[in-house]
Structure 1
Amino acid sequence: MSGRITTHVLDLAGGKPVAGISLELWYLGAAAGAEQSPSLIGAYKTNADGRIDQPLLAGDEVQPGVYELIFAAGEYFGRMEHLSAIKESIFDFIPIRFRIQDASKHYHVPLLVAPGGYSTYRGS
């Protein structure tokens, strides 16, 4: 199986997938702290299931190194009716930085989000 990077976003406060959240994937370099300018790989929006329709990167595009996903959480929370009692989230953008060592593997990096916190893990 060729390597790939995928994600999905779940709203813990609303108990549902997060549709329409903007996110970006950046490549930061071959090693943490390396002298390299960050490179934007792509900008995306989640579908109704809180996922991107295709892998963010796949096959030979996946290289070892440090990547960062940046989720526009503030934009999402600003339009949520179920959060009307909460005036705003303290999280405007949520960055998740991760390292790929074996570019042939699947790296699934989900985001579980709520107005007062978030969590992530390496999914399958």
Structure 2
Amino acid sequence: MSVASSRLETVKDHLKPTMSAHKSPITCHVLIASLGTPGQNIDVKIEKLDQSGAFATLSTSQTNSDGRCPTLLPEGYKAEKGIYRVTFETKAFFSKIGQECFYPYVQIVFELANPEQHYHIPLLISPYSYTTYRGS
């Protein structure tokens, strides 16, 4: 197999749907900026602010080999307007690779204003910094 054919097969594999046809209305992607690699096997929790003012856990998950959580929300969950919080367990990840980190976890709180839209949360982390934005 030629190098070009091998690369094409790799790209095709990345484009294949996940085992589950379920497409979460909220997804995330973690990249380790200091290493230039995906954030693999990072524990992630998503919560929604309830009427009492407390966050209620909707689901826990873990990033895959590409640093993504394609099924962050439970299958069948219908997104609703509201305030959500996603927590990434960064200290556990950096400990596994033998690095100290300043932030034991990263919490991103955001408002889901339109349940018909897809909300993607990229997180770029290093042991002493992080950044995020609304992705597409």
More helix per residue: 2
Paired residue for 1:50? 67
Task: Output one character per residue of 1:37-82: Cα deviation in whole Å (capped at 9) or x when no partner.
Answer: 321000001110001243536776100000000000000011125x
Moved over 6 A (4+): none
Matched length = 114
Cα distance in 2 for partners of 1:16, 1:94 equals 18
Q: Unaligned stretches of 5+ in structure 1? A: none
Distance 1:57 1:107, change over 3 A: farther
Cα distance in 1 for partners of 2:77, 2:67 equals 25
Residue identity matched to 1:47: N
Q: Unaligned stretches of 5+ in structure 2? A: 1-22
Structure number with the bigger relative contact order (C-alpha 8 A, sep ≥ 6) is: 1
TM-score with structure 1 setting the length = 0.83
Cα distance in 2 for partners of 1:106, 1:3 equals 8
Partner secondary structure for residue 75 of structure 1 = helix
- Assess if the C-alpha contact under 8 Å between 2:81 and 2:114 holds in 1: yes
TM-score with structure 2 setting the length = 0.76
**1:36 Cα deviation (Å)?**
3.0
- Assess if the C-alpha contact under 8 Å between 1:89 and 1:115 holds in 2: yes
Identity %: 32
- Assess if the C-alpha contact under 8 Å between 2:60 and 2:72 holds in 1: no
- Assess if the C-alpha contact under 8 Å between 2:40 and 2:64 holds in 1: yes
